[in-house]
Amino acid sequence: MFEKNLEIGYLLDFYGELLTDRKRSVMDMYYNEDFSLAEIAAEIDISRQGVRDIIKKSEEELFFYEEKLGLAKKMKSVEATASSLLSISKELSLPDEVDQKIAELLRTVKL
């Protein structure tokens, strides 16, 4: 079975613009709009196998970008650090403005 990998959706958010329009469109239909291979094939007028090949090649490309650039990993690290800071701030009863700044950072990171 060809199962969807949630990490690919995350990488698509970071590196999707680096894919060709066709690859990005197929990946968007598959991962974000939840189209089946058959639905995508009908939409772009190629075989299901052709769609699968585009998806596999695009996934490899996204993993390559992440391996070289590491932006998604860094973003997850920043988010985890900000969450930890917010927890520590609340435990230490730091001023509300500190909590607000950390919460603002978290919102920015999660966009």
So what's the pLDDT on residue 82?
82
Direct distance between the N- and C-terminal alpha carbons of the chain, in angstroms, rounded to an integer? 32
Confidence bin at 3 (pLDDT 50/70/90): low
> Is residue 64 within 8 Å of residue 91, measured between CB atoms?
no
Confidence bin at 1 (pLDDT 50/70/90): very low
pLDDT tens digits for range 26-52: 999 999 999 999 999 999 999 999 999
Q: What is the pTM of this model?
A: 0.75
* Mean pLDDT across 48-68: 97
Report the candidate in 92, 60, 89, 35 with the shortest Cα–Cα distance to residue 104: 89
So what's the pLDDT on residue 79?
83
Q: What's the CA gap between 81 and 22, in Å, rounded?
A: 36
Q: Which residues contact 11 (CB under 8 A, 6 or more apart)?
A: 62, 63, 65, 66, 72
